[in-house]
Amino acid sequence: MSNDTLENLFALDEAPAVDPAFRAGVMRAVAQRRFLIELAILACVSVVLLIVLFASGEALAAAAAQMLSSMDMAGLTLVIAGGVAFLGHALVTRAISLPRRVFF
Amino acid sequence: MSASLAGSDAAFSRLVDRHQQALRSFLRRVSGNDADADELAQEVFLAAWTKLRLLRSPDMFRSWLFGMAWRMSKTFKRSAARRRARDEAWHELQPQEQVPTNDLRLALNRALSTLSEDQRAAVALCLAGGWTHDEASRALEIPLGTVKSHVSRGRARLEEILGDAHEQ
């Protein structure tokens, strides 16, 4: 048997050159993995925030009371609006870029 | 490649398109089962997406991808064998239908299955995939001399078996 025949036989066994179904399957799995990673990150961040808030609850309450007494309503509204805008921007622009971080 | 590293799904899907045929063909020859190979190929691409940042040089993507596929195929094979045994038992209970088969393809698969695991991988890359011995050696993490010997002996064995099958 010649080498050409062997190569021809291997050519019969090739996977399809273009396979949109396979690509879609891979990208669906990638989307699921990305979702799980983002969920895990959010859960970790939430837990850390809760711990920080719990640990510094009294100090924060005292600071808030002091701030409220020295700040009028317009200033308070500006601070809250700024906070909401910052969090919204981080969410919309996906500040956490994937797959740059390796978690597994 | 750099767009994929930056997180672009479109760029990564182009990488999938570019390498899926070669990777699936390699895994089909190594595993001997098309469905298992395709399932594993999907797992390999997913692992590649997750670990893409660990790749030192974008030029090495192909050998990095195939090296990962080769390592994953070794562990995948054991669980796939168990699952296939269950599937076959289930299929035996179903009404049989005639499936056209390609005798030459079956003969090739049978011939490949007589080779050792490492020989099959070296033959699949060098003879079927057109890789150089050096590239295969790096991807499979096998010494260059061993790859050359695997390819040479594997070729002789395939020609012997397929030659006999052809004469019959």
Instruction: Decide if A27 and B42 are in contact by the 8 Å CB cutoff.
Output: no
Q: Please indicate, yes or no, whether residues B75 and B141 belong to a single structural domain of this protein.
A: no
Q: What CATH number does the domain containing B53 carry?
A: 1.10.1740.10
One pLDDT digit (tens) per residue for chain A, 104 residues: 555 678 888 887 788 998 999 999 999 999 999 999 999 999 999 999 999 888 888 888 888 787 777 777 777 788 888 888 888 777 777 665 555 444 44
Determine the pLDDT at residue A85: 86
Residues with Cβ within 8 Å of residue B143, at least 6 apart in sequence: B137
pLDDT in tens, B95-139: 554 444 567 778 888 889 899 999 999 999 999 999 999 999 999
| Mean pLDDT, residues B160-166 | 74
Residues of B in Cβ contact (< 8 Å) with A29: 42, 45-46
pLDDT in tens, B27-74: 999 988 888 899 999 999 999 999 998 888 888 999 999 999 999 998
Q: Which of B97, B113, B139 is the last residue of a domain?
A: B97
Residues of B in Cβ contact (< 8 Å) with A15: 20-21, 24-25, 28, 38
Determine the pLDDT at residue A72: 72
Q: Please indicate, yes or no, whether residues B23 and B80 belong to a single structural domain of this protein.
A: yes
Cα(B27)–Cα(B37) distance, rounded to whole angstroms?
Answer: 5
Residues of B in Cβ contact (< 8 Å) with A35: none
Query: Which residues 23-82 of B have a C-beta within 8 angstroms of A?
Result: 24-25, 28-29, 38, 41-42, 45-46, 49-54
Q: Please indicate, yes or no, whether residues B68 and B112 belong to a single structural domain of this protein.
A: no
Q: Please indicate, yes or no, whether residues B104 and B93 belong to a single structural domain of this protein.
A: no
Domain count, chain B: 2
Q: Please indicate, yes or no, whether residues B82 and B145 belong to a single structural domain of this protein.
A: no
Q: Please indicate, yes or no, whether residues B6 and B88 belong to a single structural domain of this protein.
A: yes
Look up the domain containing B116 and give its range.
Answer: 100-168
Q: Please indicate, yes or no, whether residues B49 and B117 belong to a single structural domain of this protein.
A: no
Q: Please indicate, yes or no, whether residues B107 and B118 belong to a single structural domain of this protein.
A: yes
Query: Among A12, A18, A25, whose Cβ lies nearest the Cβ of B105?
Result: A12
More confident residue, B79 or A26: A26
Q: Please indicate, yes or no, whether residues B15 and B47 belong to a single structural domain of this protein.
A: yes
Mutation site, A10, A38, A97, interface B, largest B CB count within 10 A: A10
Q: Where are the domains of chain A?
A: 1-55, 57-104
Q: Please indicate, yes or no, whether residues B7 and B89 belong to a single structural domain of this protein.
A: yes
Task: Of B6-10, B24-28, B90-94, B127-131, give the lowest mean pLDDT range.
Answer: B90-94
Q: Please indicate, yes or no, whether residues B93 and B104 belong to a single structural domain of this protein.
A: no
ipTM over 0.85: no
User: Token pair for residue B92?
Assistant: 């035996």
Cα(B115)–Cα(A19) distance, rounded to whole angstroms?
Answer: 29
